[in-house]
Amino acid sequence: MEYPRNIELSTHAFERVQERFPDYGKNKKMATDYIRSILKNSEYIGVVPDQDGKDSHMYVFNHSIAVHISYEMEAITTIYRIEVDTVKRNKQIGFRSKVEELYKKEFRKIHRTESSKRKQMKYSKAKNEAEIAALRYKQLVTRSENVREACAKRIVELQNEILIKENEIKDMQVLKRSVAYAIATASY
């Protein structure tokens, strides 16, 4: 995937360039030019969620430097070195290309599954939140203590259902991130 030519550098990314690549981080223009030159020769990995769950496009340069671009392709969000075991990587395995294809196929499969779960979660969460609101209203207007307790119990069940689905998505994101880093570093 081609990166946009007029992409800007976020404040966070500029700070990371200054911290991790001090020779190229003297000013923002120099840092932007450095990252653009890296992006020209980088391999696109895919859409990878960060630690906070925000999606970004991940590029990797020479299996050692990762560059993340915002999902909307507006700004470079961060850059960092990827720790690579060079001894492990330099061992030539005859079927490495097949293993790499398996990793890439698994990455695409995880991405589709995660997207599907996110979409399902959006509708399920809206439905559950609407039901929770109705139950809270019912709790306020009823005089029966048993109805209040039943409503409270159902609210807890619905909130737990939302939480379980959110945790499933977070687990998928962690798996997706680990597969993306394995592809980026060629450590398979």
Last residue of a domain, one of 36, 67, 82: 82
pLDDT for 19-51, tens place per residue?
A: 888 888 888 888 888 888 888 888 888 888 877
106 belongs to a structural domain: yes
Same domain for 58 and 119, yes or no, is: no
2 belongs to a structural domain: no
Looking at the chain, list the stretches that DSSP marks H as alpha helix, in order from N- to C-terminal side. Answer: 11-20, 28-40, 86-90, 96-141, 145-185
Cα distances (Å, whole numbers) of residue 3 to 39, 54, 59, 177:
7, 19, 9, 20
Same domain for 103 and 164, yes or no, is: yes
pLDDT for 51-71, tens place per residue?
A: 777 888 888 888 888 888 888
pTM above 0.85, yes or no: no
44 belongs to a structural domain: yes
31 belongs to a structural domain: yes
What is the span of the domain harbouring residue 140? 89-185
Question: Which residue carries 């880093």 as its tokens?
Answer: 181
Same domain for 158 and 112, yes or no, is: yes
